[in-house]
Structure 1
Amino acid sequence: MSWSDWSGVTGEGLDNFKEIIYEKKHHQVLGGGVARISLNKPEKMNTLTLSTVDEMFRAFYDANHDPSIGVIVVAAKGKHFGAGGDVDWERWGLREAFYNRYPHNRLMRMSRKPIIAQVQGYCIAGHNHMAYCCDFTIAADNAIFGQAGPRVSSPADGFFVPYLTKVVGAKKAREMWMLCRKYKAPEALAMGLINTVVPLEQLEAEVDQWCQELLSVSPGCLEVLKAAFDQEMDGYKESCVTSAALYPDWFDMPEGKEGGAAFVEKRKAEFWSIRQREAEMRQQLLEEYEAHQAERKNDKS
């Protein structure tokens, strides 16, 4: 055996995680180690909340400050890597995420150590852009990738949106984000979204092989290279700046509420009837304003 067994990480601030499992193991020949952060809500398809991100931050911080760790693996328990944000939580939680907190992708962007996303099953929305912001993505043959934001009235902006154009090209990136199509693992591989596809039963062994290759080279050089590659993102705005400027009251608007409500109620969203009603109300307001202006002119004459 080249690897030690996985061991749960303990210490101040690292105990009693509820939404992740944080482990480390070391290569017994090369000497370096791997930190694995596994999302641990399989009963909810590992949906994300700010609590998840808070726990992930602590694990990432520890892994990045442990000189014995050379690679970080982001994985997930259960059948699926994850289905994005928790819709029930998002009704209020996204307001906090947009206006007061950091997005989970910043953990990938700020990490000194290379990160591998280990993906099985659905990898949708926030999990998809978390995976493509990792340095490498290794997928099982049952993996399915895609975005869902426009479908559920969940806007997204910031570095991780335009960064996808560097991963798969501008046309495919817009297709993925605007049309919310889903892509099976072979399609994702063909478009450059992932690095390799293996049978599900070989997924963890394949990740181990990539970790071993990374541990066999200079960790300092990898840190410099990762920082150099990640500067690609530094010219883009931070998350939520564009959304907040265009639609500062998005989450209190009917269109902002409709997508999530339709998803929960398992019905087709009625975006365009809302837009039609908005247009009618705008026209009514304009006509009332013009009538009021005409009255003012008549009064003066």
Structure 2
Amino acid sequence: MGDLDPILVERDGAVGRLVMNRPEKHNALRFGDLDILVEALHSLEDDDEIKVIVLKGSGKSFCSGHDYNDAASSYGLEPGKDGSRPRRPSQRKRLARDRRLGENYKAFQYALKPVIAQVHGVCTGAGLYLVELVDLAVAADDTRFSHAEQRLGLAGNTWHLNSQILQYGPKRARELLLLGDDFDGPTARDMGLVNRSVPFPELEGTVEDWVHRIAQHPRDALVTGRAMWQMAMDSLGGSDQFARGYVGHTLGTNLRFEDDEFNFLKERARTGTREAFASRQRHYTSD
């Protein structure tokens, strides 16, 4: 793969690396990028030389979530070239697209081999989902995490609420989703989102130390242990929400706004994506 590919795959002995590669967009993922990312994950799962997988981002950030321009276009929110009112896709098309999106997230929870997230810069939305779903995570101290999806006029995460409740506890999970506040690496470590928070210069070295220690285990031991972990999570209800999540995503991204409510989509159409995000920030941080 070349430098312009949205997802890069690297192989280094027993270590495979998945690199999100849209640095100019802080590695925001389009729907097609996430499809490619999962295909690349499966290619490393099928490679018997690979024992452990690192998920990381190029440039200044890990992943800033979904590319909102791509989502708006896919969901029929963009006006026509002549300025005509957009025609939204049918519910059946939305459900089909969202089911595939849910399966892509689920692929990381059900990965056959251990996956470690190497996190820095911005980690929000879809990027944060991936960190929540993989086995281990190491973050730079100055990483900026947030679950700000609901501030986009969406209902928030629908895919793996069960896993979030198990990970954070119900009250903390609701706090993260409803308030959408930024938090850093040490806070993410204290709440159990990441295993370690280290100064940025130590990030890659820490991850490399971990992956090489994990790669000392036998292949069958790693894969069998991973499968047993998944079965334990299933027994606790950890993955049940995925079956419901795609329906929830279709409903939760198709909401009506009242006149006194901040409408990100309307603001975006009026001022553009960048200014709409700035307006959102002002709205939710004003006293």
TM-score, normalization by structure 2: 0.78
Residue of structure 2 equivalent to 1:40: 21
- 1:138-157 counterparts in 2 under 5 A? 138-157=138-157
Q: 8 Å contact 1:19–1:51 — kept in the other structure?
A: no
TM-score, normalization by structure 1: 0.74
Q: Kindly state the Cα deviation for residue 58 of structure 1 after the two structures are TM-superposed.
A: 2.0
Residue of structure 2 equivalent to 1:83: 64
Q: Determine which structure has greater relative contact order: mean sequence separation of CA pairs < 8 Å that are 6+ residues apart, divided by chain length.
A: 2
Residues in 1 aligned to 2:9 and 2:101: alpha-carbon distance in whole angstroms: 21
- 1:92-241 counterparts in 2 under 5 A? 92-93=73-74, 98-100=95-97, 101-103=100-102, 104-231=104-231, 232=233, 233-238=238-243, 239-241=245-247
Residue of structure 2 equivalent to 1:251: 254
Unaligned residue ranges in structure 1 (runs of 5+): 1-13, 27-32, 272-301
Unaligned residue ranges in structure 2 (runs of 5+): 76-88
Distance 1:155 1:90, change over 3 A: farther
Q: 8 Å contact 1:50–1:97 — kept in the other structure?
A: no
Q: Kindly state the Cα deviation for residue 97 of structure 1 after the two structures are TM-superposed.
A: 6.7
Q: Kindly state the Cα deviation for residue 259 of structure 1 after the two structures are TM-superposed.
A: 2.3
Q: Kindly state the Cα deviation for residue 158 of structure 1 after the two structures are TM-superposed.
A: 4.1
Which of 257, 262, 265 aligns to 2:267? It is: 262
Q: Kindly state the Cα deviation for residue 121 of structure 1 after the two structures are TM-superposed.
A: 1.0
Residues in 2 aligned to 1:16 and 1:139: alpha-carbon distance in whole angstroms: 24
Q: Kindly state the Cα deviation for residue 200 of structure 1 after the two structures are TM-superposed.
A: 0.8
Highest Rg: 1 or 2?
1
Number of residue pairs the alignment of both structures matches: 249
Partner secondary structure for residue 197 of structure 1: strand
Partner secondary structure for residue 21 of structure 1: strand
Residues in 2 aligned to 1:125 and 1:102: alpha-carbon distance in whole angstroms: 13
Distance 1:268 1:43, change over 3 A: closer
Q: Kindly state the Cα deviation for residue 98 of structure 1 after the two structures are TM-superposed.
A: 5.0
Whether 1:18 and 2:30 are equivalent positions in the alignment is no
Which of 39, 55, 58 aligns to 2:39? It is: 58
Residues in 2 aligned to 1:161 and 1:168: alpha-carbon distance in whole angstroms: 10
Amino acid at match of 1:251: N
Q: Kindly state the Cα deviation for residue 169 of structure 1 after the two structures are TM-superposed.
A: 1.6
How big is the alpha-carbon RMSD for the aligned residues of Structure 1 and Structure 2? 2.7
Distance 1:98 1:161, change over 3 A: farther
